[in-house]
Amino acid sequence: MEALGRAIRSREEELERRYQQEGFSLSWMLISLIVQGVLTAALVIGLPMVVTLFDFEGGNGMLVTIPVWFLGGLLVGVISPGRTFIEPVVASFCAAIPTVFFLVRSQTVRTMPTFMYVIMATIGVLFTLIGSYIGERIQLGPPPKPAD
């Protein structure tokens, strides 16, 4: 039935569905989780250990994670085959949970309420969606010209 539905689609419908995701890849979600986890740990935890001038505690750490997750989504969107822009979002959500717990527990001077960490993590997850969508658009190239 699925193959029959694909055969009946017109060229216009195919162009409309060009940027739509048709499934969920667990392997790309795990790859995204590794990418997001490594990038987050490297910049939020590792960089302040190497360069003591940086201090990403509290809200500053959450401000750093938003562009990190955007770039992670962009990277996975560019390198993944097909249309996989939901997988980095799920991976970013999974990475956001321990990141929020770590940053809430490690805050000393620059304190914020916990719900602000949750809101900032949600913004970071949404930026992951934007980054992965842009990465997919880069990977797929320009849309084909419509035939008259």
Q: From residue 139, how far is each of 40, 69, 85, 86, 116 by CA, in Å? A: 24, 18, 12, 15, 34
Number of Cα atoms under 13 Å in the Cβ half of residue 35? 27
Domain ranges of the chain: 25-140
User: What Å distances lie between residue 93 and 47, 99, 103, 108, 118, CA to CA?
Assistant: 22, 10, 15, 25, 11
Q: What is the pLDDT of residues 23-52, one digit of tens each?
A: 788 888 999 999 999 999 999 888 888 888
Neighbours of 145 (CB within 10 A): 6
Distance, in Å, from the CA atom of 46 to the CA atom of 38, rounded to the nearest integer, reads: 10
> pLDDT for 63-113, tens place per residue?
899 999 999 999 998 998 877 878 899 999 999 999 999 888 888 776 788
At 20, the pLDDT band (50, 70, 90 cuts) reads: low
Q: Residue 95 and residue 65: Cα distance in Å, rounded?
A: 10
Task: Taking each helix axis as running N to C, give the angle between helix 59-79 and helix 26-40, from 0 to 180 degrees, rounded to the nearest 10.
Answer: 140
User: Averaged over 129-139, what is the pLDDT?
Assistant: 90
- Would you state the pLDDT for residue 82? 76
Please indicate whether residue 16 or residue 46 has the higher confidence score (pLDDT): 46
- pLDDT on residue 129: 93
Assess whether pLDDT exceeds 50 at residue 58: yes
| Residue 1 pLDDT exceeds 50 | no
